[in-house]
Amino acid sequence: GQSLEQPSEVTAVEGAIVQINCTYQTSGFYGLSWYQQHDGGAPTFLSYNGLDGLEETGRFSSFLSRSDSYGYLLLQELQMKDSASYFCAFMDSNYQLIWGAGTKLIIKP
Amino acid sequence: DAGVIQSPRHEVTEMGQEVTLRCKPISGHNSLFWYRQTMMRGLELLIYFNNNVPIDDSGMPEDRFSAKMPNASFSTLKIQPSEPRDSAVYFCASSFQDRTETQYFGPGTRLLVL
């Protein structure tokens, strides 16, 4: 079967760094995407890893290790506006996104 | 360019009524996705289209749900008859067919079935 695991909630302090982990299980895999969703809003695309390694986009970075079936999203210099839910999703052999349950990031001042 | 457009943004209806949700994808995108999001079940893919053709509708809950895409700029999701358990936020998203890892979501339709 196919599955994704990510923590349900993570708490961090403004200005700090936080890492949100994601592990997956699937027989067909093309890459790992990350999306952000603020309360009451729609998911918005953050990053995609089609290959192993680190992808950096401003304060956000995403990492993938296919051999470990593992990825993470790294958020640096946390701001209060980063408080949101973060979803990892992998693209399966049918080019469909299979979504995790989301991680709620709580940022404290 | 306008993003994905959905209507209505909010819908309150009574059990047994027909509900029609509408979506206009981003111009040039040839893949369209309908999702449902609830606290209990998270984000679920209901159906997706490539070039207006339904590819996978295995996520459609039951025969009460149907979706159409008559042309590249319009899609509908219909629930008939609606039930209270259908209450959720319904999102439409679009992407290029070869870039489905990057989906652009509409603002969603918040449906409440009483």
pLDDT tens track of chain A, all 109 residues?
A: 788 999 999 999 999 999 999 999 988 888 999 999 999 999 999 999 999 999 998 999 999 999 999 999 999 999 999 999 999 999 888 878 889 999 999 999 9
Q: What is the largest CA-CA distance in chain B?
A: 40
Question: Would you state the pLDDT for residue B1?
Answer: 63
- Tell me, what amino acid is at B39? M
Tokens representing residue B87 in the block: 């209450």
Which residue numbers of B have CB closer than 8 Å to A's CBs? 42-43, 45, 48, 56, 91, 93, 100-108
Low-confidence winner among A50-54, A96-100, B74-78, B80-84 (lowest mean pLDDT): A96-100
The pLDDT of B76-90, averaged and rounded, is 97
The pLDDT of B11-32, averaged and rounded, is 97
**Interchain contact A25–B (C-beta under 8 A):** no
Please report residues of A whose CB lies closer than 8 A to that of B91. Answer: 42-43
The pLDDT of B87-109, averaged and rounded, is 95
Question: Of A103, A108, A100, A55, whose CA–CA distance to A79 is shortest?
Answer: A108
